[in-house]
Amino acid sequence: MIEPAANFDDLVDNFGLLDDWEDRYRYIIDLGKKLPIFPDDLKTETYKVRGCMSQVWIIPGHVDGGQSRFAFAADSDAHIVKGLIHVLASLYTGKEMGQVAAVNAEAAFSQLGLDQHLSPSRRNGLVAMIARIRAAASQS
Residues carrying an active site annotation = 52
Taking alpha carbons only, the member of 74, 79, 122, 84 closest to residue 105 is: 84
Q: How far is the C-alpha of 3 from the C-alpha of 33, rounded, in Å?
A: 13
- Count other C-beta atoms under 10 Å from residue 68's C-beta: 12
Query: If DSSP states are collapsed to H, E and C, what string results for 8-64?
Result: HHHHHHHHHHCCCHHHHHHHHHHHHCCCCCCCHHHCCCCCECCCCCCCEEEEEEEHH
Q: How far is the C-alpha of 38 from the C-alpha of 18, rounded, in Å?
A: 29
Residue 49 half-sphere exposure toward CB, CA atoms < 13 A: 31
